[in-house]
Amino acid sequence: MKKHNFSAGPSILSEFTIKTTAAAVENFAGMGLSILEISHRSKEFVAVSDEARAMVKELLDVPSGYEVVFLGGGASLQFCMVPYNLLAKKAAYLDTGTWASNAIKEAKLFGEVDVVASSKEANYTYIPKGYTIPEDADYFHFTSNNTIYGTEMRYDPDVKVRMVCDMSSDMFSRPVDVSKYDIIYAGAQKNLAPAGVTLIIVREEALGHVERAIPTMLDYRTHIKKESMFNTPPVLPIYSALQTLKWYKEQGGVKAIEKINLEKAAILYDEIDGNKLFKGTVAVEDRSIMNVCFIMNDEYKELEADFASFAAAAGMVGIKGHRSAGGFRASLYNAMPKSSVEALITCMKEFEKQH
């Protein structure tokens, strides 16, 4: 039976990415060797790394003055690298969920942190608005998509200070005005590649303004200077990332991908709103197009486990909600075909008919 992979991350990758990665595991670039066993400094891999960084720039229209870096350590390492490199005195953070608050915790190790707003009291079911960012903040940090709760800021805020964004779960899901940001970072395991690499886009001018000594490996300048080859990079995930980027280009780029993403999310939210058994969990205007969270309506609460089994029997994988949000979460990342979303909707309709 066909499986429909709604996992939140690691998550679905395009068939193209999986097939070309599998082929490179057998025989990379006609070298007669697996990509798992070649030097990261071989000319064949250096070409992959260069092309991947160039394609990120092309797909997101990255202006000059920015560099693209591939690092290990996950998005979580960026929670400390960002303040290490940018926080001289004070930073402003928006608290929209677990990942945002993890970033806040790390920043506090480096200086004053002004949490400009938080929706924690409502279990992060909305994005705070109308907050003020202090003009003397070194930067403003936010999480564009809150993977666990299913809220998203699908726009690039206008702020008067430097801006840093964790785009781990909605990178490449829409065009982004990179020129508004100083650092954008994203763990690969949602919209890019298998886990193990983190994509960072950094404005070079933003670096070098803190007085503290920065350990070599945690200094963005090290990796910019060495073109992500200061130490051994995660070779296989970078190869897969390049395949996904090629596939994005083939789909027509991020604008075309956004169009499909909007359609996929709209049909699923319509079903949630129209089906008597289900309801959404977050403020309608803040609904994520990447992670669609829903629960059973109050009078059908006892059917939750039954629906989970029913959906699993129909091939749905990974729709259980995060333990801190409960219910269900269908992640509709870029590689998720519309037909899988339609299969989930059919499943919800059939379950409704039975009750």
Residues with a catalytic annotation lie at 99, 166, 190
Q: If you ran DSSP here, which 8-state letter would residue 37 be given?
A: G
Q: How far is the CB of 33 from ligand PLP (least distance, A)?
A: 29
Shortest separation between residue 144's beta carbon and ligand PLP, angstroms: 8
Residue of the chain from 5, 147, 228, 288 that contacts ligand PLP (CB under 6 A)? 147
Residues 6+ apart with CB under 8 A from 121: none
The one segment of 54-62, 118-126, 163-171, 204-212 that binds ligand PLP by CB under 6 A:
163-171
Residue 191 in the binding site for ligand PLP (CB under 6 A):
no
- Alpha carbon distance 236, 335 (integer Å): 19
The 3-state DSSP class for residue 165 equals strand
Size of the site for ligand PLP (CB under 6 A): 11
Minimum distance, C-beta of residue 145 to ligand PLP, in the bound complex (Å): 6
Residue span binding ligand PLP (CB under 6 A) among the ranges 48-56, 69-77, 129-137, 282-290: 69-77
118 binds ligand PLP (CB under 6 A): no
Q: How far apart are CA 281 and CA 331, in angstroms?
A: 14
Could you give the C-alpha distances from 128 to 119, 134, 191, 238, in angstroms and in order?
Answer: 6, 16, 25, 35
Residue 261 vs 348, nearer CB to ligand PLP: 261
| Among candidate residues 348, 291, 279, the one with its CA nearest the CA of residue 314 | 348
Residues 317-336 that bind ligand PLP (CB under 6 A): none
Q: Tell me whether residue 169 or residue 243 sits nearer to ligand PLP (CB atom).
A: 169
Contact 8, 333 (CB under 8 A): no
Closest distance between ligand PLP and the C-beta of residue 339, in Å? 25
Is there a contact between 151 and 172 (Cβ–Cβ < 8 Å)?
no
Question: Do 188 and 197 form a contact (C-beta atoms < 8 A)?
Answer: yes
Query: Footprint of ligand PLP on residues 2-61 (CB under 6 A)?
Result: 9
Structure tokens at 191: 């919209």
101 contributes a contact to ligand PLP by CB under 6 A: no
What is the β-pairing status of strands 162-166 and 139-143?
A: parallel
For binding to ligand PLP (CB under 6 A), which residues are involved? 9, 74-76, 99, 143, 147, 166, 168-169, 187
